[in-house]
Amino acid sequence: CRLHIILSEAAYAGNVILFIDRLDELFSAGAESVGKIDASSIILPYLELPQLGFVGTTTPGLYHKIIEANTSLRDHFTKIEVKEPDQGRVIRILEAVSPLVETKTGVRFTYLALDEIVKLADRVYVNKTNPEKSIDLLDQVAVDAASAGVTQVEAKYVQQTVTAKTGIEVGEIREEEKSKLLNLEDYLHKRIVNQEEAIKAVANAMRRSRAEIEELRKPMGSFLFLGPTGVGKTETAKALAESYFGSEKKMIRFDMSEYQTKESIYRLIGDEEGGSGLLSQAIFANPHSLVLFDEVEKADPGILNLFLQMLDEGFITDTVGRKIVFSNTIIIATSNAGSEYIREAVKSNKPYETMKTELMEELQQKAIFRPEFLNRFTAVILFSPLTTEQMREVAKLMIDRLKIRLETEKEIKLDITEAAIAELALKGYSPEFGARALERTIQESLENALAQKMISGEISRGATLKIDREDINAV
């Protein structure tokens, strides 16, 4: 085989040091490059030759799993742990590397720009380590600057490049962003009805994150949303993803009712054979995102333990030792636990903080959540049931979205009266299912009839459709 030929030629030449990157990939649990054939039997005889030296690299997890487990291999290697350099050393490395980049691109870097690159490299390359990620960002900024005709890069240009690449604002807060942050409650209320305390808590936490008051290694915000079905928990998550990351598509959702067994943890973080987990894949592909863990109370307790490190340290480690980094994410977990208590407490007009304190105690007493789990979140937020009046506001928001879709996609104008909206809200009101029941009512009482008439040709492009209360069931 090719490996045998290379080793033979090196042995014949003598006085050769062979460097093997990702050494683990040559052995049994390892890698696709040799068809997952154990190459240790080929390499072992050459390890004993005095004229050959070997330097290999691997991760701590894979060293323990593959190299250390094979005593014949382990005895031929001396393990040297290479630590990630601190910020000061990385800047000195960039000072040494940058002249080569400057010569190649014609772009010069100030010292403050290099310092900013080191500070912001975590924002861009969350799954890499230093100095690699800082050098990669140096290269990226240099290429962007050269393309834009910029000859000298200052710290501000580095910030602009990082914002363009990640969608996350960094550096000094601009006037437009300042206005958005200071009025975040108003923005979220365009999509969320009621839930004043919840919206306020989320907005305050996100302002602290942007002001970099919170620890940067932790997620940008982490929230546990408690409340009945259909009161706005998931909609708040979608609105936050759109406002902070620019699109609802930046929300990654996991239905935790699918992770109720001990073995299901491997579906999230990968199995012991090295297969990637769904959570690992999602974060590696979308490191700047909002991660929603729906109905978290249904997950196996072992999975809930993942949250302790995720929320406290900003990362978890998968089964092969790779870090899954959450420092550029917003984490939201939702739960229906305690819904009945919330309904009764709202009916009796209990103050929000009293209601929250009592509910936290109840969840711990019933062993639904442990204290250390609850205390890891930036905020635990209660969502109240919606009243009939608030359901009318929700119905109006849903109808407004339908109007926009019809007008932009079909050029059909929908003119619906307040009385018709009130009728939909009344028909769709459900204390048990909240706005989800209303959504079904709008589909059944309005959208189904609209679709039928559009397909039959009774409604065509450019039409204006007026709907009143009596038309709800016969559009």
In this prediction, residues 204-211 reach a mean pLDDT of 85
Question: What span, in angstroms and rounded, lies between the C-alpha atoms of 278 and 269?
Answer: 7
- Do residues 187 and 243 lie in contact, with contact meaning Cβ atoms separated by under 8 Å? yes
pLDDT of residue 80: 93
pLDDT for 36: 53
Give the number of other Cβ atoms within 10 Å of residue 300's Cβ. 15
Are 124 and 162 a contacting pair, CB within 8 Å? yes
> What pLDDT is attached to residue 144?
97
Residue 29 is predicted with a pLDDT of 47
% the chain with pLDDT above 90: 62
Residue 152 main-chain phi, psi, to 5 deg: -130, 125
pLDDT value at position 34?
Answer: 41
Q: What class is the 87-166 domain?
A: mainly alpha
d(CA 294, CA 272): 26
Q: How confident is the model at residue 239 (pLDDT cuts 50, 70, 90)?
A: very high
Q: Quick check: 212 pLDDT over 80?
A: no
Mean pLDDT of 262-270: 92
Q: Which class would CATH give 176-382?
A: alpha beta
pLDDT at site 143: 97
444-472 pLDDT, tens digit per residue, is 989 998 898 899 988 888 899 899 988 88
Contact 421, 399 (CB under 8 A): yes
- Whether the pLDDT of residue 474 is over 80: the answer is no
Question: Between residues 40 and 86, which one has the greater pLDDT?
Answer: 86
Per-residue pLDDT reduced to its tens digit, 81-103? 999 999 999 999 999 999 999 99
Instruction: Give the Cα separation of 213 and 401 in Å (integer).
Output: 36
Same topology between domain 87-166 and domain 388-471: yes
Higher pLDDT, 60 or 300: 300
**Per-residue pLDDT tens for 241-255?**
998 888 999 999 999
pLDDT, tens digit (0-9, with 9 covering 90-100), for 403-438: 999 999 999 999 999 999 999 999 988 877 888 889
Calpha distance 341→323 (Å, rounded): 39
Instruction: Specify the range with the lowest mean pLDDT, choosing from 22-26, 232-236, 283-287, 288-292.
Output: 22-26
pLDDT at 275 over 80: no
User: What confidence tier does 28 reach under pLDDT thresholds 50, 70, 90?
Assistant: low
For 28-184, where are the E strands, in sequence order? 52-56, 108-109, 152-153
Lowest-pLDDT range, 312-321, 354-363, 401-410?
312-321
**129-181 pLDDT, tens per residue?**
899 999 999 999 999 999 999 999 999 999 999 988 888 888 777 788 788 88
Range 190-207 average pLDDT: 90
Q: Is the pLDDT of residue 473 over 70?
A: no
Cα distances from 39 to residues 4, 36, 467, in angstroms, run: 10, 9, 74
3-state percent breakdown (helix, strand, coil) of the chain, nearest 5: 55, 10, 30
Q: Sorting pLDDT into bands at 50, 70 and 90, what band is 37?
A: low
Instruction: Say what percent of the chain tops pLDDT 70.
Output: 96
Taking each continuous run of H as one helix and of E as one strand, the counts in the chain are 22, 13
**Cα gap 422→435, rounded to integer Å:** 14
Which pLDDT does position 308 carry in this prediction? Answer: 93
| CATH 1.10.8.60 at 388-471, yes or no | yes
Residue extents of the structural domains in the chain:
2-74, 87-166, 176-382, 388-471
Chain-centre distance for alpha carbon 140:
23
DSSP states of 176-224: HHHHHHHTHHHHHHTT--S-HHHHHHHHHHHHHHHTT-S-TTS-SEEEE
116-127: pLDDT as tens digits: 999 999 888 888
Place 475 in a pLDDT band, splitting at 50, 70 and 90.
very low
Q: How far apart are the first and last CA of the chain?
A: 74
Which among 401, 97, 379, 133 has a CA at the least distance from the CA of 248?
401
Helix ranges, 33-110 (H): 40-47, 60-62, 71-74, 87-105
Question: Is residue 31 pLDDT above 60, yes or no?
Answer: no
Write out the DSSP string of 229-297. Answer: TTSSHHHHHHHHHHHHHSSGGGEEEEEGGG--SGGGHHHHH--TTSPPPHHHHHHHH-SSSEEEEETGG
- pLDDT over 90 (residue 297): yes
Looking at per-residue confidence, does 97 or 215 come out higher?
A: 97
